[in-house]
Amino acid sequence: MATSPLNVHARSNSLPSRQHPITSQIDERLNQLRESQSTSASSSIGHQLNRLQDLYESVDMLLQLPHSRQALAQEQQKKLVEQLLDGSLIYETAKDALLQLKKGSLQGFAPKTRSREDVETGAVSRTLKQVEALTVNVLESLLSFILGPEAASKSSPWSSH
């Protein structure tokens, strides 16, 4: 009995990869923060700080995901992780200083030290760099507002331009 070859036509169902909902949320918050940077009124700066806090909370959730931790734990990402942590430390230090300023005194202010543990590549690292850049912009706006118009006319020592 002769066997005939089977003509089987197999197709692959290749769907585009979807972003994690947290990544979409971070993208949305980044866009909102970028849009709000066009005004420098005190109420706008307050909204920017609130949005920045929301953004950092979303980033924290992203960094808790196992795939984010695995990607950032790779040896070739060590320098990137250190740079991102330094940016995060700048944000935390500025936030702590502003809270002390709000309380009326910077006496006894000592920046918190954070460990450099548990921190991803690709899209996550790009997102974190965008978050860091927006953080610097928002903090520059805030400090310029606090220091007044004469500070705004001088070039910013915090700017990388």
Torsion of CA 60, 129, 138, 90, to 10 degrees: 70
pLDDT at 58: 87
Residue with tokens 């690292």: 125
Are the CB atoms for 117 and 12 separated by under 8 Å?
no
Q: What is the pLDDT of residues 98-144, one digit of tens each?
A: 666 667 655 555 555 444 333 345 666 777 778 888 888 888 887 78
Residue 161 above 50 pLDDT? no
Summary mean pLDDT of the chain: 70
pLDDT, tens digit, 9 for 90 and up, residues 13-31 = 554 466 778 888 988 988 8
Domain boundaries, the chain: 21-104+120-146
The pLDDT of residue 17 is 61
Give pTM, 2 decimals: 0.55
